[in-house]
Amino acid sequence: KTVYRKNYTPPSFLANTVDLTFDLDPSQTRVTAKTELIHNPQSKSTDIVLYGEDLELVGILLNGRKLAAGEYALENGLLRITKAPEVTRLEIETLICPDKNTTLMGLYLSNGNFFTQCEAEGFRKITYFPDRPDVMAKYTVTLKANKKQFPVLLSNGNLVEEGALPRGRHYAKWEDPFNKPSYLFAIVAGKLVCQEETFTLASGRKVLLQVWVEKGNLDKTAHAMESLKHSIRWDEERYGLELDLDRFMIVAVGDFNMGAMENKGLNIFNTRYVLANPRIATDVDYANIESVVGHEYFHNWTGNRVTCRDWFQLSLKEGLTVFRDQEFSADRIGTKDGRAVKRIEDVRTLRQHQFPEDAGAMAHPVRPDSYEEINNFYTVTIYEKGAEVVRMYQTLLGREGFRKGMDLYFQRHDGQAVTCSDFLAAMADANKQDLTQFENWYSQAGTPRVKLRTRYNKKAQSLSLTLSQSCPPTPEQAKKRPFLIPFAFGLLDAKGKSMVVNSHDVTVRKKLADAPSGTALVQLTRKSQTITLTGVPEKPVISALRNFSAPVILEYDQSDEELALLLSADPDAFNRWDAGQRLALRHLLRLTHAVQHKEALELPSTLVEAYRSVLANDSLDPAFQALALTLPSEIMIAEEMKEIDPQAIVQARHFMLQTLSHSLQDEWLKTYQTIRIPAPYSPEPDNAGKRSLRNLALSYLMEGDDKKLMQLAVTQYDNADNMTDRMAALTALTHAGNLTSKKMAERCLRHFYREFRLEALVIDKWFALQATSPENGAPEMRKLADHPAFTLKNPNRARSLVFGFCMNNMAQFHATDGSGYDFWAENILELDRINPQIAARLSRALTQYNRFKPELKKRARKTLKHIASRKLSRDTGEIINKILAT
């Protein structure tokens, strides 16, 4: 069942045109697919191979002649027509049952409306087809449906015809002028309304933009529309890429497996990434919407115009498009340290989710070598590490060099289905550079470790830096070749002033993207490498791996004092933040150890004072202050431990929060009381940054069991005119974990439910917030799962409660009595019958189980075996078995 990258063969037939007709009916939809296929000269086979899943085949016509049952073979989801003519016109009729489709792949219903999701292999649930990305064709689509029930009929491209049909039905015909693979096909049909606007492109051409939602949500589309317009502008300005259609649609759907989908001209989005107004959406929601709208829009070029040859190349479009959306969001912030703030958030995501993935049972290269179920490879490695890989080209080649590479990539490959190597070649050729070694980033899994050792020679006024790299073994890859690592760094003197870097060995590049002057770039290519800097008048403090110039773990011992100096003075804002994180992490690990050995817990004043000065420094961007004062997460602490002890981690982290709460109480209170944010609410970054600092202060204040302080949160909850402040107050109360707050939280939680019971996305928040409360364990989760508003059928709802608990409530999920694991297993098994993709995601919660302390490891293994003993989907089976294999 495993598919291997090395077994790629070109398709035997290519498709020219596809003409689809849908007779839409919830219980039985008839699909007629007329495809013109031409033999591919690059293939020796003369068989037509079509994929199909859960289809009822009604009949096949080949060049107008009906095929008898003996003239094709149909087995295991493959329909094979042997010795087909050079040019073959196929007409295939199938029946499908959208209302029984709970997998949310192919054609399905959500709240009575039709939607499709075809990436990666959902099109084969609609009709028999060469459903692979290297088969690209022009599509014409006719939709027929009852007019009352399904007044709106949408598909890719342009509407070319519509009209009435007998018996209360109507039709619409759509034509997509561009060649596309089947995974970009989409239809939508139902009761929807839209906000629309004519928009003028830089070239002067006018296009129609639409955001489609259910009727009650028309007051929540403005931000998505704004985001779309900004995305279009940004791609014109930064990459010279223009929207190639006359019409661009976004449709929101409440039941969706992922975030959103870039179907040509008809992007389909999880409601979560479209709907917003101040009442229901937080600042983070607003920012996420902008970035996902950007992401899907940017796919139009990086994904659709140039697509993937096969699914092993997924990161070709995803890594590149995430990089593009990160840059878009960074440019959009516009505050002093705005780009750095975005960079910090992205690196946090990478460390929180991708580093653990890369260190566990599901570790895989950015370009995997094999898979059982491709849906399991829509991972943080493909997306976020893939984006880091793309970012490294920009770091190595500069912004201009990167742009040259992009231009060449489109020049060479527009309209094609290509590979990651093609992208690398475009970057290398456009810049006349040899990037052969860079390929290792695509082929090797695991997070590389870079060790830095320094030696200062006072007499010679020289500094030597020895950089060495290693990469731990990952499944099927014991030994690794060295990576090409761009290592950016700078030097500070004892007062925190930048020093000049002199050396023959390093490029000091003025145009290094996102680096303050004085930043040098070393290309680490060997296992170990030493460079010598001259003219260094005093022993410097080194600011290493500036702006996180490579997705690696830096091993470099710096004293608390050095880290505190970097935190206060490094001109690289990212490293200022990172110094604070490294300082905190070191003490969190020490405290965890102390908890485990029942030693006294203490926090050194260096840390408290470092935090105090960040808080007091009002020349800093508040968004930056908030990030700098947020402790490394429990997962980040766990990543640094040989043997993970979840309860000790949670206790240690809690102790640090409490200590910082007490020692800095006056400062927190002052921060809370003096930050003024102009009314009315606006999600723009300046205000959002202030809110995040103010709400962080509130959460620290809640750590002490002080009724007066608790009252601040209740007051904020009651008076809030926006979801950010409301949610922050409620979370602070709910998570504070003392008796005073508990009573207050209960009242607010009840009020919150009543107030927002009609807003599905807010009810998700209500579940998530309780699922992640350190007070709540498996028994509370079971109670919540019995709540009438809970259902596993809706992925957002399942994620809010079950994933919230299993992935974001460390001490309770890993409860030593095994109650968390039992809850997890039950939900996996139940979900697997409904929606294998979501069940498989949930299964990943224990990919690192064998790093946990022995009693948990034993329980986890027992639970995993129990799950494995049941009949599982291919999705869930692959994950569970790979975990058990480690």
Residues recognised as catalytic: 296
The stretch among 33-41, 135-143, 257-265, 397-405 that binds ligand ARG (CB under 6 A) is: 257-265
260 binding partner (options Zn ion, ligand ARG, none; Cβ < 5 to 8 Å by kind): ligand ARG
Q: Alpha-carbon distance 135 to 12, whole Å?
A: 10
* Residue 116 binds ligand ARG, judged by CB under 6 A: no
Smaller CB separation from ligand ARG, 104 or 243: 104
Radius of gyration of the CA atoms of the chain, in A? 28
SS3 per residue for 135-165:
CEEEEEEEEEEECCCCCEEEECCEEEEEEEE
| CA gap 609, 158 in Å, rounded | 62
Residue 758: which residues within 8 A CB-CB, separation 6 or more? 216
Q: Identify which of residues 319 and 448 has a Cβ nearer to Zn ion in the complex.
A: 319
- Helices (H) and strands (E) in the chain — how many of each? 29, 34
* Residue placing its CB nearer to Zn ion in the complex, 104 or 636: 104
Distance of closest approach, residue 296 Cβ to Zn ion, in angstroms: 7
Residues 6+ apart with CB under 8 A from 816: 647, 855, 856, 859
Choose, by CB under 6 A, the member of 90, 120, 387, 435 that binds ligand ARG.
120
Is 831 in contact with 867 (CB distance < 8 Å)?
Answer: no
Residue 378 contacts which entry, Zn ion, ligand ARG, none (Cβ below 5-8 A, type-dependent): ligand ARG
Residue 73 gets the label, from left (phi > 0), alpha (psi -120 to 50) or beta, of beta
**Rounded-to-integer distance, Cα 424 and Cα 409, Å:** 9
> What are the C-alpha distances in Å from 539 to residues 113, 493, 621?
67, 7, 30
Nearest-approach distance from CB 354 to Zn ion, in angstroms: 16
Residue number, 317 or 735, with CB nearest to ligand ARG: 317
Tell which one of 25, 318, 358, 514 touches ligand ARG (CB under 6 A): 318
CB of 262 to ligand ARG, least distance (A): 5
Residue 257 engages ligand ARG in binding (rule: CB under 6 A): yes
Residues 372-401 vs ligand ARG: string with x where CB under 6 A? ---x--x-----------------------
Between residues 120 and 811, which has the closer beta carbon with respect to ligand ARG? 120
φ, ψ (nearest 5 deg) of residue 461: 50, 45
Under rule CB under 6 A, residue 119 binds ligand ARG: yes
Q: Which is nearer to Zn ion, 321 or 772 (CB)?
A: 321
Shortest distance, position 324 Cβ to ligand ARG, whole Å:
12
Spatial distance between the Cα atoms of 300 and 234, rounded to a whole number of angstroms? 13
- Kindly state the tokens that stand for 472: 């731990």
Based on the shown chain and the rule CB under 6 A, indicate whether residue 347 belongs to the binding site for ligand ARG: no
Under rule CB under 6 A, residue 260 binds ligand ARG: yes
User: Which of 304, 558 has the CB closer to ligand ARG?
Assistant: 304
- Closest approach, Cβ 302 to Zn ion, in A, equals 9
Choose between 224 and 553: whose C-beta lies nearer to Zn ion.
224
CA 90/CA 384 separation, integer angstroms = 41
572 binds, among ligand ARG, Zn ion, none (CB under 5 to 8 A by kind): none
Cβ distance to ligand ARG smaller for residue 120 or 531: 120
User: For 58, phi and psi rounded to 5 degrees?
Assistant: -95, -45
Give yes or no for residue 121 binding ligand ARG (CB under 6 A). no
- Please select the residue that binds ligand ARG; options are 20, 79, 258, 583, rule is CB under 6 A: 258
Closer CB to ligand ARG, residue 118 or residue 607?
A: 118
The SS3 of residue 71 is: helix
Indicate the angle between helix axes 685-701 and 646-663, nearest 10 degrees: 100
Cβ(638)–Cβ(647) below 8 Å: no
- Distance in angstroms (rounded) separating the CA atoms of residues 633 and 291: 23
Short-list 318, 309, 303, 330, CA closest to 380: 318
CA distances from 639 to 356, 358, 470, 596 (A): 7, 11, 17, 17
Site size with ligand ARG, rule: CB under 6 A: 13
Long-range contact set of residues 757-760: C-beta below 8 Å, sequence gap at least 24: 757/789, 758/216, 759/280, 760/254, 760/271, 760/794, 760/796, 760/797
Say which entry of ligand ARG, Zn ion, none residue 764 contacts (CB below 5 to 8 A, set by partner kind). none
Shortest gap between Cβ of 117 and ligand ARG (angstroms)?
6
695's contact among ligand ARG, Zn ion, none, with CB below 5 to 8 A by partner kind, is none
Which one of ligand ARG, Zn ion, none is in contact with 419 (Cβ closer than 5 to 8 A by kind)?
A: none
Q: What does 258 bind: ligand ARG, Zn ion, none (CB cut-off 5 to 8 Å by kind)?
A: ligand ARG
Q: How far is the CB of 133 from ligand ARG (least distance, A)?
A: 11
Is residue 262 a contact point for ligand ARG (CB under 6 A)?
yes
Q: Within positions 268 to 307, which residues make up the interface with ligand ARG, using CB under 6 A?
A: 295-296
Per-residue contact track with ligand ARG, 566 to 585, x per CB under 6 A? --------------------
Residues 6+ apart with CB under 8 A from 672: 694, 697, 698, 701, 712
Buried b (16+ CB within 10 A) or exposed e, 528-554: ebebbbeebeeebbbbbbbbbbbbbbb
Alpha carbon distance 517, 562 (integer Å): 21
838 binds ligand ARG (CB under 6 A): no
Nearer of residues 212 and 377 to ligand ARG, judged by Cβ: 377
CA distance 311 to 419: 10
The span of 53-61, 254-262, 723-731, 732-740 binding ligand ARG (CB under 6 A) equals: 254-262
d(C-alpha 368, C-alpha 374), whole Å: 10
Binding mask 292-321 for Zn ion (x = CB under 5 A): --------------------------x--x
In whole angstroms, give the CA distance from residue 231 to residue 37: 36
Determine contact, residues 701/678, Cβ cutoff 8 Å: no
Q: Does 417 bind ligand ARG (CB under 6 A)?
A: no
| 494 contacts: CB under 8 Å, gap ≥ 6 | 538, 539, 541, 565
Q: Which is nearer to ligand ARG, 37 or 838 (CB)?
A: 838
User: In this chain, which stretch among 2-10, 260-268, 347-355, 398-406 interacts with ligand ARG, using CB under 6 A?
Assistant: 260-268
Q: Quick one: which segment of 56-64, 114-122, 326-334, 707-715 binds ligand ARG (CB under 6 A)?
A: 114-122
Residue 466: both structure tokens together = 């020895």
Least distance (Å) from ligand ARG to the CB of residue 322? 8
**Shortest CB 344 distance to Zn ion, Å:** 22
In DSSP notation, 485-552 reads EEEEEEEE-TTS-EE--B-SSSEE-TT-TT--TT-EEEEE-SSEEEEEEB---S-PEEEESGGG-SS-
State the nearest-atom distance from the C-beta of 288 to ligand ARG, in Å.
13
Which of Zn ion, ligand ARG, none does 119 bind, CB closer than 5 to 8 A by kind? ligand ARG
Q: Is 261 in the site for ligand ARG (CB under 6 A)?
A: yes
Interface segment toward ligand ARG; rule CB under 6 A; list 63-71, 165-173, 255-263, 482-490: 255-263
Residues that bind ligand ARG (CB under 6 A): 117, 119-120, 257-258, 260-262, 295-296, 318, 375, 378
Residues that bind Zn ion (CB under 5 A): 318, 321
